[in-house]
Amino acid sequence: MLDASDLLNLVKNYNPKANEALILGAYDYACAMHEGQTRRSGEPYFSHPVAVAAILIEQRLDDATIITALLHDTIEDTKGTYGEIAARFTPRIAELVDGVTKLTNLELSNRESKQAENFRKLFMAMSKDMRVILVKLADRLHNMRTIRHSPHEQQVKKAHETMDIYAPLAGRMGMNWMREELEDIAFRVLNPEARDSIIRRFLTLQKATGDVVSKITYDIETVMEKYCIEGEVFGRAKKPFSIWRKMQEKKLAFSRLSDIYGFRVITRSEGDCYNVLGAIHQCWYAVPGRFKDYISQPKSNGYRSIHTTVSGRDGKRVEIQIRTRQMHDVAESGVAAHWSYRDGIRAGNPFAVDPAKWLTNLTERFETAGYHDEFLEHVKLEMYSDKVFCFTPKGDVVKLPKGATPLDFAYSIHTRIGYSCAGAKVDGLRVPLWTRLKNGQSVEIITAEGQTPQAAWIDVAVTGRAKAAIRRSLREEDRGHYIKLGQELARVAFAHVGKKATSKALDTVARIMGLKNGDEVLARIGSAEVSARGVISILYPELGGRDAAGVEAHRAVIGLTPGATTYRAQCCQAVPGERIVGIAYPGLGPMVHAIDCPTLADLDDEPDRWIDLHWTEGRHAPVHNVTINVTLSNDNGVLGRICTLIGEQNANISDLHFIDRKPDFYRLLIDVDVRDAKHLHAVMMAVEADSDVATMERYRALERRP
């Protein structure tokens, strides 16, 4: 633990004009208040606030922040009071200490409604003075560094909270070094086997290839020397969690990852950044789609750098970041650079942003989110998303999250533009509203009088602002179309069992389900929240197991041992009339597969598990569920008409599952109960013949749902 004089000397190294008396006074006061307290490790508790202060000293922060770090636990854990701190160390410092105390008391990993409210408090505290969250982040970092002394359950809870909130927040504030360390420690707690595996693979790779980092560093330095560009080159292997995340996102094995090394080139001027870029691209092939210019279009937290990925030595992909020294300071410290000192004065870094502007804008927009899920949506998008920069036809820059669409662009300009959006042009060409925007594109929104938001827009929009506005509009619209569709689905399903979907019957179902009335039942059927078949089972449970078709459902398959029960494999959904085979599974009955099911290829080497089965002759009950994949026009009445067509074939729709909702079409999976292959063929032919059906096929996959 640093003693008072050592800590003061560290501060004076970058701020000779620091208030020695105030810093030493805070050190002595906190030491006295924490006297007799110990941490789980057995160390004096006061070692913790000193370590937090040391972390912030490394960022060259001002006196008030360092003093707050020393005092941050005095109000919560000692006899120290707000008034006493205000009298001894100024009211401003007392407010900062109180702010950190309030953040510490927030249970940020609680259930979502509570979490949303605490997020509001967190961002409101940040908006008053960003230094509160800087101290809290340093506090969390030191606690994570010493987390091994905590009980395992507490470690897991804190690691989840760190991964979900504090690490992304540090990254959003531009403090990438802190984000990486927080993620790595949390990763070590939550998935130690995966982390150890990645480290072992790294060691194996280093033995096979040698010191790749030093070789590529030398290559880049040689290129810079050739073109007479001065600068420094730093290389490193990426952190284990960064590699793990990339493996999960891209679904790649470690051996297939290419850009696992990162390099930074620090130049003297902005012009040299572009000179280095040109020199590197002349020597190595640039990887398409992996270039970003954050110098001309900086991130909102002040981050500036050029990113490029090239195919370097031995064809290895190498990610290179190019920036000046001042840009690098902001890239490492983020918004903390706003308060950093050098030689006793605030560092005049032209790239350091005032975080109050970002936070003020953020909190104002959060206040418009009326529901907890919408608020959390805002928070997570603002904290976790990278940005793309697009232009209006007049040349104004619009910043959006990565993956944003023209619909998000429209709502970012004005809610009124979003509501009336009827189309978009990107770089002069008409494009669908779900198009993902890229950096530098020019976007023109086409509006139409009378246009209103559609339900499909929820899946198209990415930003919290657009989603919230669309939801507000949809909530205000009449649910008549859902009720109308539900009426048609209910009519067909009830007719299938010889009943009528009367108002009294639906009201009875509503009472059983705890819903308001029959219209609510129809609305839920129409929106696929409840199946019509499920409603019939509630009202007429005796019909669920009735088989009036001849072949009883439990005797549909021949070739079983007495008492055995079969199960239809959902990967192929075999129906009577198709050749089948049984596969034995320990502890279960045979699983029935269609003879052409792709899954069977994996069982060729296990002939003992194969059972010769075939369907019972005769007319089967319409209880064999099959899924069809349909793409149809997004026009009024189309879906209802398709449901009617299926009903006319005496087939029951047991479920609807929308997998793609776009402004001009729907793609959905329809679960249909059929008798046999001939019945299924009749259903599919009837659907495919409709002029509003673009594509239709039987859905067969190893996964039951995409």
Each residue of 352-364: pLDDT tens digit?
656 566 566 555 5
CATH class of 385-476: alpha beta
Q: At 691, is the pLDDT very low, low, confident or very high (cuts 50, 70, 90)? A: confident
Inter-residue contact 118 to 106 (CB < 8 Å):
yes
* The pLDDT of residue 549: 46
CATH architecture assignment, domain 201-346: 2-Layer Sandwich (3.30)
- Identify the H or E element spanning 133: helix 131-145
* The pLDDT of residue 491: 86
User: Once rounded to an integer, what is the mean pLDDT over residues 632-659?
Assistant: 84
CA–CA–CA angle 119, 376, 159 (5° rounding): 65
User: Once rounded to an integer, what is the mean pLDDT over residues 73-80?
Assistant: 89
Distance set, CA 173 to CA 22, 294, 358, 419, 508 (Å): 28, 16, 10, 32, 55
Q: At 553, is the pLDDT very low, low, confident or very high (cuts 50, 70, 90)? A: low
Q: Which residues sit opposite 658 in a β-bridge?
A: 668
d(CA 318, CA 210): 16
Distance set, CA 576 to CA 567, 588, 617, 682 (Å): 14, 22, 9, 14
Residues that are catalytic: 76-77
Inter-residue contact 140 to 178 (CB < 8 Å):
no
Query: What is the 3-class SS of 185-199, one letter each residue?
Result: HHHHHHCHHHHHHHH
User: Once rounded to an integer, what is the mean pLDDT over residues 190-195?
Assistant: 89
Inter-residue contact 156 to 190 (CB < 8 Å):
yes
Average pLDDT, the chain: 81
Per-residue pLDDT reduced to its tens digit, 4-44? 999 999 999 888 888 999 999 999 999 999 999 999 888 99
* The pLDDT of residue 147: 93
- Position of tokens 């891209």? 250
Q: Does 492 have pLDDT greater than 90?
A: no
Domain with CATH 1.10.3210.10 in the chain: 4-190
User: Once rounded to an integer, what is the mean pLDDT over residues 161-188?
Assistant: 85
Inter-residue contact 75 to 101 (CB < 8 Å):
yes
Give me 94's structure tokens.
């007392």
Q: Which residues contact 310 (CB under 8 A, 6 or more apart)?
A: 280, 281, 284, 285, 286, 287, 317, 318, 320
Most confident by average pLDDT, 322-331, 382-391, 482-491: 322-331
Give me 40's structure tokens.
């789980």
* The pLDDT of residue 417: 93
Q: Give the pairing type, strands 261-267 and 231-237.
A: antiparallel
d(CA 377, CA 116): 10
Per-residue pLDDT reduced to its tens digit, 452-468? 888 788 888 888 788 87
* The pLDDT of residue 407: 93
Q: Does 197 have pLDDT greater than 70?
A: yes
DSSP 3-state assignment of 671? strand
Cα 176 off chain centre by: 19
CATH 1.10.3210.10 fits 4-190, yes or no: yes
Domain with CATH 3.10.20.30 in the chain: 385-476
Give me 162's structure tokens.
């760190």
Residue 302 Ramachandran class (φ > 0 left, ψ -120 to 50 alpha, else beta): left
Q: Work out the number of other CB atoms within 10 angstroms of the CB of residue 626.
A: 24
- CA neighbours closer than 13 Å in the CB half-sphere of residue 433: 29
Inter-residue contact 435 to 443 (CB < 8 Å):
no
* The pLDDT of residue 225: 92
d(CA 120, CA 67): 26
Q: Which residues contact 582 (CB under 8 A, 6 or more apart)?
A: 557, 559, 560, 566, 590, 591, 592, 593, 610, 611, 612, 613
* The pLDDT of residue 10: 92
pTM: 0.55
Q: Which residues sit opposite 265 in a β-bridge?
A: 233, 322
Q: At 688, is the pLDDT very low, low, confident or very high (cuts 50, 70, 90)? A: confident
Inter-residue contact 631 to 619 (CB < 8 Å):
no
* The pLDDT of residue 406: 93
Q: Does 344 have pLDDT greater than 60?
A: no
Q: What percent of the chain has pLDDT over 90?
A: 23
* The pLDDT of residue 704: 41
d(CA 700, CA 573): 8
> Which range, of 383-392, 453-462, 685-694, averages the lowest pLDDT?
383-392
Nearest in space to 526 (alpha carbons), one of 572, 583, 565, 486: 486
Per-residue pLDDT reduced to its tens digit, 129-167? 778 888 999 999 999 999 998 999 999 989 988 887 788
Of residues 124 and 336, more confidence is placed in 336
d(CA 649, CA 642): 11
Residue 58 identity:
E
d(CA 574, CA 180): 50
Distance set, CA 339 to CA 60, 61, 135, 345, 461 (Å): 8, 6, 13, 10, 37
**Helix axes 372-384 and 464-476, enclosed angle (nearest 10):** 160
- Identify the H or E element spanning 208: helix 192-209
Q: At 114, is the pLDDT very low, low, confident or very high (cuts 50, 70, 90)? A: very low
Give me 389's structure tokens.
């920069």
User: Once rounded to an integer, what is the mean pLDDT over residues 656-682?
Assistant: 85
Distance set, CA 43 to CA 1, 143, 149, 154, 335 (Å): 10, 13, 11, 19, 32
d(CA 314, CA 303): 31
Cα dihedral value 268, 274, 276, 282, nearest 10: -170
Q: Work out the number of other CB atoms within 10 angstroms of the CB of residue 139.
A: 23
Nearest in space to 336 (alpha carbons), one of 179, 207, 175, 216: 175
Q: Work out the number of other CB atoms within 10 angstroms of the CB of residue 476.
A: 9
